[in-house]
Amino acid sequence: MQRQAIHTLKEWKNRPDHKPLILRGARQVGKSYLVRMFGRECFENIIEINFETELWAQDLFDQKNPVNTIAFLEAQYNQRIVGGKTLLFLDEIQAGPKALASLRYFYELMPDLHIIAAGSLLDFVLHDHEFSMPVGRIEYLHLGPMSFEEFLLATNNEIKLERLKGFSLNEGFNEALHNSLMEDFRKYIVIGGMPGSIQAYLDSGSYLDVARVQEGILATYQDDFSKYATRVDHTLLRKVFSRIPLQVGKKIKYVNIDPDERSVKLAGAIEKLELAKLVTRITHTHANSIPLGGEIKERDFKILFLDVGLLCRACRLDMTEILESKDLLMVNSGAICEQFIGQHLLYNEPSYQRPELYFWVRQKAGTNSEVDYIIQHGSRIIPVEVKAGTTGRLKSLHVFMLEKERDFALRFNANIPSLLDTVTAVASHKPRPFSLLSLPLYMVGQTNRLIKETF
């Protein structure tokens, strides 16, 4: 299965100033598969070391002389390691975290050698390491679940993908193609973007096989809880992990997760799940200026689950109902659509950029205006509303456009794409003109391109 991130890896390989690359992402999003595919395509040979199974490697990389390390590896694997021709892949590197510190010496003394490090729980090491990280001598690549467009490619829908990538707002969109893509979208909602789930569907075409794989993935995540830290309450983690999917799309209130547990412990459990990349915190921003992260309110946040397919499985949603539904608003109150759009917006930016996403809620007593997401496009601040069906009120969006004096907004729904010049409709306020770009849910991967086309 092809991943768009391989293009980033190829660009990294060809840069003369490349640094050792650290691949970050949750377990089973396809990190190792991606690196191996990249190695086969772009290098003469690949040396792969798993720090969980090859314990000798932990001491080998705990030194400051990479020349000696490479000499040992050549003898160990009976292969030459040559800069520009060999890829050195350090997998599950969280099991030998001091190897991360050694990357600075590879960068300084062997800059031609291409090194990629990855690990399922790597962010725990990066968050709480007890050694000097090689700041300025490494770079990162963030990998999430497979996107809807990667799903189309994997399921032999290249022509549909070409139509998506070639669509312009200056032309109409075929209704039959739209309906077909909405069917693919509903399939993706059930299957999700985990490579194992997609492969199960490709192998058998059975959604029951997909469900079995998803159950296995969720169980694996829970089995990992024992690896998070020695003092983590595993029972609490399991409880929070099982209840978070039901909170997607809602502002988090700890009492809704567990009314009998202290909020500080629940906050700690959520932080652990964040470090494992199983959930992502979507924080409130005042959205007055950029960067959006410069004026956040950390106590006000929502949560995204890792993957929409896993979300549906964790919530025990009926697969048939999703696949046959003409209005997903009737399924889980539309939260699955907010999850779908959110997980794609997180990874719509370059993969070397840390994924982040925000939302907005009106900070006045007695009001309940809330915009699903706020994104930045160049110097523009753009509100994003997600609707599961073909219709839906945009009251909160109008409030935002009026208060923040913005002139462009984005909506995702089940309709064909359109660009509309409209005005705000807020009682007792003078209407303010703005442009509303409305895109079908499956077109989220084309967001940046189509926004740029409107300006």
User: What DSSP state is assigned to residue 146?
Assistant: P
Closest CA to 107 of 92, 121, 88, 125: 88
Report the pLDDT averaged over residues 264-275: 94
Give dist(CA 345, CA 37) in Å, integer.
25
Contact status, residue 249 vs residue 387, Cβ threshold 8 Å: no
Name the DSSP letter for residue 267.
Answer: H
d(CA 370, CA 359): 8
Residue 307 near residue 317, CB atoms below 8 Å: no
Q: Which residues have a Cβ under 8 Å from the Cβ of 61 and sit 6 or more positions away?
A: 69, 90, 96, 98, 99, 102
257: left (phi over 0), alpha (psi -120 to 50) or beta: alpha
Instruction: State pLDDT tens for residues 326-357.
Output: 666 555 657 999 999 999 999 998 888 899 99
pLDDT for 268: 93
CATH fold for the domain made of 5-142: Rossmann fold (3.40.50)
* Residues 244, 279 contacting (CB under 8 angstroms): yes
Query: What is the C-alpha separation between 400 and 370, in angstroms, rounded?
Result: 8
pLDDT for 326 equals 66
Q: Is the distance from CB of 50 to CB of 91 less than 8 angstroms?
A: yes
What's the rounded Cα separation, in Å, for the pair 33 and 142? 14
Count the neighbouring beta carbons within 10 Å of the beta carbon of residue 253. Answer: 10
**What pTM was computed for the model?**
0.93
| Beta bridge partner(s), residue 141 | 23
The residues pairing with 422 across neighbouring beta strands, listed in sequence order, are 434
| DSSP class per residue in 385-433 | EE-SSS----HHHHHHHHHHT--EEEEEESSPPEEEEEE---TTS---E
Per-domain boundaries in the chain = 5-142, 148-454
User: Which two structure tokens, joined as six digits, stand for 86?
Assistant: 């060999």
Distance CA 160, CA 201 (A): 19
Q: How far apart are the first and last CA of the chain?
A: 35
pLDDT tens digits, one per residue of 106-141:
999 999 999 999 988 888 877 766 666 777 889 999
User: Per-residue pLDDT averaged across 210-220, rounded?
Assistant: 97
Instruction: Give CA–CA dist 220/28, Å, rounded.
Output: 9
**Confidence class for position 97, pLDDT limits 50, 70, 90:** confident
pLDDT band at 273 (very low <50, low <70, confident <90, very high): very high
Amino acid at 56: W
Question: 320 pLDDT band (50/70/90 cuts)?
Answer: confident
Residue 59: how many other CB atoms lie within 10 Å:
11
Nearest to 107 by CA among 245, 234, 15, 216: 15
Identify the CA nearest to 163 among candidates 143, 179, 178.
178
Residue 79, SS3? coil
Give the pLDDT confidence score for residue 234 in this predicted structure: 86
CA dist., res. 358 & res. 285, Å (int): 6
